[in-house]
Amino acid sequence: MRSRQRMFAAVMRLLLKCLRLGRRRRFKLVRQVEQLWHYGHLCLRSLFYNSFTDSDVVLDSLFEPVYWLVDHVTRWFGVVFVALVIGLTSSIVAIVYICLLPLILQTYTPAWICWHLAYGHWNLIMIVFHYYMAITTSPGHPPQAKNDLTGVSICRKCIAPKPARTHHCSICNRCVLKMDHHCPWLNNCVGHYNHRYFFSFCLFMTMGCIYCSISGWEMFRDAYAAIETYYQTPPPTFSFRQRAFHKSVVYLWVLCSSVALALGALTLWHAALITRGETSIERHINRKERQRLQKKGKVFRNPYSYGSWDNWKVFLGVDVPRHWLTRVLLPSPHLPHGTGLSWDLPPCVTEQRAPLLAI
Ligand SMILES: [Zn+2]
Ligand SMILES: [Zn+2]
């Protein structure tokens, strides 16, 4: 009886020992799996490691296919938009030459004829020159090679130095000096070297549209009244030529007045930005910075603003008074101040200001 009890106790001890061993093995296996998982995770992360990675980069990466599609569509639409600008402008010029000019020459006094011929042609030359220059001039890009630029950040897309005021354009897929925005109507970025051409084009196009709307108002009223009589009974006996004339005048006036309103608003917006010495992108950056500093009780000062008047002189490249005629009122291919890589005080700025630092 006692030997049986002893045997039972020995079996129980062995069983307990076995159970302990199984538990230890299970722990060992779990630890091995855990180590393998950590090792695999580390290997995977090391393949995609980037010290700049944050939630924005992850979100950007997830939306990359959408950006790719939008960028490609915008790039393709750029060509269509440029063709549209050239086509619509040409149609207006053709209507003015074919329909309106003979009428002006027949009915107006010599003084008014001279005014219309001089102003109309000057305005047309300014529009064509500035549009051509805006679409063909490169906005300027920072050098890709290693250089001695100081105080610059690095573009995460180009992996290259990014000077102050430079921003990356996802449509052009390049960094652009003093980038304002990517303009589909130019199929080009607006930056350091073509910002003046872009603004001058907007300004002269608006002026041209206002000129056509004002000088064509009487003709538009008559043509519109004539078109309304088309549906009377009996219908009026207008010839094909007269009907084409009426429709052309209405088309000209509606298009010019619409463009004058839309482009006029855009031109005013850009004029306000130029007065403040800001680009469209800097407008948002500076507003945030202004709010941030305001909370701390500090005042934000735009380091690229030299005062309203000097901002315009720097933007237009007016160094001496005669430049208002030769560089602003006449077509001029002069280059802007500086290289767009660093922002030193331009020579035409009258006020003495502290040297600027690249941000
Ligand atoms: Zn870039
Ligand atoms: Zn661009």
| 159-173, 223-237, 281-295, 316-330: segment of lowest average pLDDT | 223-237
Residues 157-216: tens digit of each pLDDT: 888 888 999 999 989 989 999 999 999 999 999 999 999 999 999 999 999 999 999 999
Catalytic annotation, residues: 183
For ligand 1, the distance from its centroid to the CA atom of residue 78, given in whole angstroms, is: 20
Closest ligand to residue 160's CA: 1
Is residue 191 within 8 A of residue 178, CB to CB? The reply is yes
Is the pLDDT at 1 greater than 60? The verdict is no
For ligand 1, the distance from its centroid to the CA atom of residue 145, given in whole angstroms, is: 13
What band does 118 get if pLDDT is binned at 50, 70 and 90? very high
Torsion (CA) 95, 206, 137, 72 in degrees, nearest 10? -90
For ligand 2, the distance from its centroid to the CA atom of residue 199, given in whole angstroms, is: 16
* Residues bordering ligand 2, an ion, CB closer than 5 Å: 169, 171-172, 182, 189
Which among 78, 220, 163, 186 has a CA at the least distance from the CA of 344?
163
Could you tell me the pTM of the whole model?
A: 0.78
C-alpha span between 296 and 298 (Å, rounded): 6
Residues 35-82: tens digit of each pLDDT: 889 988 888 877 777 776 777 778 877 888 888 888 888 888 889 999
SS3 155: strand
